[in-house]
Amino acid sequence: MSTDTDTFTYARTYPLPSKRMWHLMTDPTMREKWGVPDDGMVMKVVTSDLRVGGVDHHRCGPADNPEFEVETRWYRLDGPSDAVFTETITAGGARLGASLVTYNIAGDGTGSTVKVTVAVSSFVGPDMIAEFNAGWTGGMESLDRLVATQAEKA
């Protein structure tokens, strides 16, 4: 089977300064809140080592069976503007795919422009590409909702 690939880019403007957006997007507790679509899915951080060269492990999937294991490896952390990491997803001991993710955050003190680029490779066929896309699209929608609640508190 050949490796299927695609790239997704998400661009948003938020009413929070870049330092607050950085925290929401990189803090493990915050990532659990927005990292999956809001449809009965969960993300549970098992371990987190947020530093260049650090590795995070988390599980995600349906709330009653978070069967997917994700290893995140951090390559660049230049807060509050840039982060680059890879994610490798496995289930049942089989590697399903990998992604290279880049966060670009630019702010003026009161608001931020966020660009997230996700380059994915599926090792199990094109359906996994659609799963990556749905996961990131839903996660970004969850981030939108989280930012809205944070902006209300400000």
Burial of 141 (0-12, 13-18, 19+ CB in 10 A): middle
pTM: 0.95
User: Residue 16: what pLDDT?
Assistant: 96
How far apart, in whole angstroms, are the C-alpha atoms of residue 83 and residue 144?
19
Residue 109 — pLDDT band, cuts 50, 70, 90?
Answer: confident
Residue 21 — pLDDT band, cuts 50, 70, 90?
Answer: very high
Residue 2 — pLDDT band, cuts 50, 70, 90?
Answer: confident
User: Residue 47 has which token pair?
Assistant: 């371990």
- Domains of the chain with bracketed CATH: 4-153 (3.30.530.20)
User: Residue 154: what pLDDT?
Assistant: 65
User: Residue 3: what pLDDT?
Assistant: 94
pLDDT over threshold 80, residue 147: yes
Residue 121 — pLDDT band, cuts 50, 70, 90?
Answer: very high
Q: Give every CB contact of residue 28 below 8 A, 6+ residues apart in sequence.
A: 45, 48, 50, 56, 58
Which whole number is the average pLDDT over 101-115? 94
* % of the chain exceeding 90 in pLDDT: 90
Q: What's the mean per-residue pLDDT of the chain?
A: 95
How far apart, in whole angstroms, are the C-alpha atoms of residue 117 and residue 115?
7
- Within 13 A of 89's CA, how many CA atoms are on the CB side? 22
Cβ atoms of 97 and 82 closer than 8 Å: no
